[in-house]
Each structure stands twice: as C-alpha cells, then as structure tokens.
Chain A
C-alpha cells in the first residue's frame, strides 16, 4: 500500500480549474499550496496545478523559476535538500506525507533526468536490474518486460541484437531512450521528465518527442523544457513559472497563441529579460 489510508484527501478540499475539466482525461495528480524552501529561500510559492491522465503537460519558465524544483517535488526527490509543504494528491492520496512509502510511490511516479544516466551495465541489465530488485526473477518474464519496455521507448529495433552490450556504448539519444525504457519497465502511472532532450541533437530530439507522444497512451507525462517549440509540439497543457510562482496555466494552444499575461507572451516569444 502506498500510504496510510488516513491521508486520503477530503473530496471537499479538492479544487479543480474548470478549464481543465475533461471527463476523457480525469485529473490524476494535483498540488495544493505546494511550497519548497531551500533553507530560508522559498524556491516555490503556493503552486496549485492539476494534471490530466494520459496527457502531456509542459512546465516552462526561465532558469531558477521553480519548474524543476516543482517537478522534483512531485516524486519527493527534494526531501533531502529542501522543506516541501502543501499537498501532492496522487489519485486522491496526499503523497507529501512522512509515512508514505517513497519507493512504492516512485514505482507509480517515475523520473527521467536531463542527462542520460545509464548504469555501467549491459543494455539488458539496465532494465532487468530494477525488476530483479522488485522480485521479478523469472527469465522469460524479465525478457518480456525488457523487450516491451525497449519497444515502448522506441529503442528495441536498434538494440535487440546487442542487448548484452554496455549501455555506455549507446548514443546520447539512445541512452536517453534507454532511461525512459528503464523508467517504464516498472509500469509507472506518471512519467516526470526534466529537460530530457537538452543534451540531444535535433534528430534524437524528434525521435524522443515521437516516443513521448506514443507513451502518453499509457502514461501521464509532465515535462520540464527550455525548448518552446518542444512544449508547443507535444504538450496539451503548459504551465509558465517565473520567480517561484506559476503565473499562467492553460492549454498549450492558448499559451502559445493568446496568453492572458504579458510576461508569458514575452517569455514564449523570446522577448524576455
């Protein structure tokens, strides 16, 4: 069990932005008054955001705006370095509680980082390692999950004959897709991606974006990106962060065609600072 049932969120406290109501894609994750403090510094102020199931949400904003801090808080990766207050409601359960089983939670909410970080093991072991840790020991079952994960990350065709090769021999784009395969091998609900294409060339970036568009059928994706075109190409919703606040949250179409706040318009137009 992910959490003590006493932390189930009181439905009367739920707040939904009307704009985001979508019966086909119910809210799967939402934050209320989420604040993050690095020492005395409040790096994130009262973030209230909702994320719909099987949709891609882009988090954009200048460096230091709080978007990565927000993303990392969603699966409690800031716990050791920061004080995080407020609610993170995942399927009706507040996962920002001390007695939440963080490892169980992270099986549901996986993270892919900015730079590809494959283990110094074979391609196969990069995926099988975590599965073995979680008790999957049957070789056929492992083979099946490795194959389906690599297919899900659009890497299978390129590496199926080299599964025993070192993962460190892969190109940047392939290594990043391996990290995605590793993240989806444990069948999470939500994938968090922190600038996953920032170290990739345009072709690898395009392949990664296509992979994400495929993956959203099965996963909910939240992605931090500095690439405005990437946000506009792949996401349904976009949140604009600045100076630790979410200043605007709307459909990506609205953010990139008719934002309500001038500073959002300036930022997405490259007319900022």
Chain B
C-alpha cells in the first residue's frame, strides 16, 4: 500500500542526497581553490556557504513536520532520524570547506610547500569521494559499505598526522615557512574533521539498517 507519507519521505531522501552532493562539490572546490591558489573560486565557496545552511534548515523543518503529522515508527522513524542527524554532520562538513576556502585566501602570498599540497590534494580527493560514497550507501541502506567508508576516516587521520609532521619539519628548517605551514596544518585538520563527520553519517546508516547506535571511530 502506497502512503502519502512514502511520497514525502522519497522527496526528503532526494533533498538530502542533493544536499550531500552539494557539500561534496564545495569540499572539492575549496581544496582546488587552496592548492591552485584560486581566490575567485575560494570567494565563490565562501559566498555560497549559506545555500548549504538553508538546505539543512529546510530538511530539518520538513523532518519535524513529518514526525508531527505522521508520527512515524520503526524504519520510517529511523529514516527520518538518520536524515535529521546526518544533515547536521553534512552542514558541519561544509563549514570546514568554508574554512579551507578562507585558508586559500590567506595562503596566496605565502611560500608553496609542494609535498604538503600533494597531501592536501590526496585528503581532499578522499573526503569528497567519502561523501559521494556515503550517499550511495545511504540510498542502498548498505551497512557493510558504511563500515568500509568509515575506515577511510582512519586513513585521513594518518594523512593529517603526516601533514602535521611535515609542516613542523618545514617550520623548523626555515622560519619563512612558519605562517604557510600553519595554514597547511589547519587545512589538513579541516579535512580530517570532514572525515569524522562522514564517519558519523556511516554510523547513522548502520542505525537506519539495524536500529543499533554504534561508534565507528
């Protein structure tokens, strides 16, 4: 039996996925702006940050309405709760993309550190892919895939650690690099945090599938 609720839930799902793809694009653009020192692209990321916030609020409002009007239970409830929690994580991930865009503006006149840029690029590719994959795992309610994606979060931890060590080495060897290296450290930290937020989404996919609330990190 098809319910009106099912149509609204489908729309909510689709809006959630769209928001996720938007966040993935923002992260990718912010990292490109940083590594290419593209200030126009960085400005665009900063100026369009409100779009993600507005989508988060719209999804939250719609979720509250559906809970109040339909009083969903079991898998219906879990799906709405998953979206409600995951949109917060995605919005926070987008905040870190905005931080990276701000860092891109600050780093333009500083020394380049190619090894660190390579690490940042690698982390950017991983986080963007993580978000795209987590949206697929959400759509297919794939618990195993969610667990695999969360493991990439640990790889990001290690890359962040490497980036920090490399930055400190540059700071020690040449004080000229001090400001630039600290900006690189912050960007690596931002990307690591994005990985943590995607890991949270993975946890909510497991909840959606099984009803269990787990910690994956």
Mark A residues whose CB is within 8 Å of B: 228-229, 232, 256-259, 264-265, 268-273
- Number of B residues with CB within 8 Å of any CB on chain A: 14
Residues of B within 8 A of A258 (CB): 74, 78, 210-211
Contacts of B179-217 to chain A: CB distance below 8 A: 210-211
Which residue of A has the minimal Cβ distance to B210? A258
* A267 CB to nearest B CB, Å: 10
Q: Beta-carbon contacts of B69-80 to A below 8 Å, as 1s and 0s? A: 001111111100
Mark B residues whose CB is within 8 Å of A: 1, 3, 5-6, 71-78, 210-211
* B14 CB to nearest A CB, Å: 20
Establish whether residues B73 and A269, one from each chain, have CB atoms under 8 Å apart when the complex forms: yes
Known: A229-B71, A257-B211, A258-B211. Contact between A272 and B77, CB under 8 A? Answer: no
Establish whether residues A268 and B1, one from each chain, have CB atoms under 8 Å apart when the complex forms: no
Bound-state CA distance A228–B210 (Å) is 22
Known: A257-B211, A258-B211. Contact between A265 and B1, CB under 8 A? Answer: no
* A93 CB to nearest B CB, Å: 37
Residues of B within 8 A of A229 (CB): 71
- Total A-B residue pairs with C-beta atoms closer than 8 Å? 34
Residues of B within 8 A of A270 (CB): 3, 5
Which residue of B has the minimal Cβ distance to A264? B74
Bound-state CA distance A74–B76 (Å) is 34
Bound-state CA distance A259–B75 (Å) is 9
Known: A257-B211, A258-B211. Contact between A269 and B74, CB under 8 A? Answer: yes
Bound-state CA distance A273–B78 (Å) is 22
Residues of A within 8 A of B75 (CB): 265, 269
Establish whether residues A269 and B1, one from each chain, have CB atoms under 8 Å apart when the complex forms: no
Bound-state CA distance A270–B6 (Å) is 11
* A120 CB to nearest B CB, Å: 39
* B210 CB to nearest A CB, Å: 8
Q: Could you say which of B5, B75, B76 has the most chain A C-beta atoms within 10 Å of its C-beta?
A: B75
Establish whether residues B74 and A257, one from each chain, have CB atoms under 8 Å apart when the complex forms: yes
Known: A256-B74, A257-B77, A265-B75. Contact between A271 and B3, CB under 8 A? Answer: yes
Establish whether residues A232 and B73, one from each chain, have CB atoms under 8 Å apart when the complex forms: yes
* A72 CB to nearest B CB, Å: 27
Bound-state CA distance A257–B75 (Å) is 7
Establish whether residues B71 and A268, one from each chain, have CB atoms under 8 Å apart when the complex forms: no
Which residue of B has the minimal Cβ distance to A254? B211
Bound-state CA distance A259–B74 (Å) is 7
Chain B interface mostly helix, strand, loop or mixed? helix
* A233 CB to nearest B CB, Å: 11
Residues of A within 8 A of B5 (CB): 270
Bound-state CA distance A228–B72 (Å) is 11
Establish whether residues A265 and B3, one from each chain, have CB atoms under 8 Å apart when the complex forms: no
Residues of B within 8 A of A264 (CB): 74
Bound-state CA distance A258–B1 (Å) is 20
* A61 CB to nearest B CB, Å: 15
Residues of A within 8 A of B73 (CB): 228, 232, 256-257, 268-269
Bound-state CA distance A271–B71 (Å) is 13
* A167 CB to nearest B CB, Å: 35
Q: Could you say which of A228, A229, A259, A269 has the most chain B C-beta atoms within 10 Å of its C-beta?
A: A269
Bound-state CA distance A179–B5 (Å) is 38
Residues of A within 8 A of B211 (CB): 257-258
Establish whether residues B74 and A272, one from each chain, have CB atoms under 8 Å apart when the complex forms: no
Say which residue of B1, B3, B71, B78 sits within 8 Å of A257 (CB atoms).
B78
Bound-state CA distance A256–B76 (Å) is 10
Establish whether residues B72 and A269, one from each chain, have CB atoms under 8 Å apart when the complex forms: yes
The 4 closest A-B pairs by CB, nearest first: A258-B211, A265-B74, A256-B73, A268-B73
Residues of B within 8 A of A268 (CB): 73-74
Residues of A within 8 A of B72 (CB): 269
> Apart from A256-B77, A265-B75, what 11 extra A-B contacts exist at CB < 8 Å?
A228-B73, A256-B73, A257-B73, A257-B77, A257-B78, A257-B211, A258-B78, A259-B74, A269-B74, A272-B1, A273-B1
Residues of A within 8 A of B3 (CB): 270-271
Residues of A within 8 A of B74 (CB): 256-259, 264-265, 268-269
* B118 CB to nearest A CB, Å: 45
Establish whether residues B78 and A271, one from each chain, have CB atoms under 8 Å apart when the complex forms: no
Establish whether residues A269 and B76, one from each chain, have CB atoms under 8 Å apart when the complex forms: yes
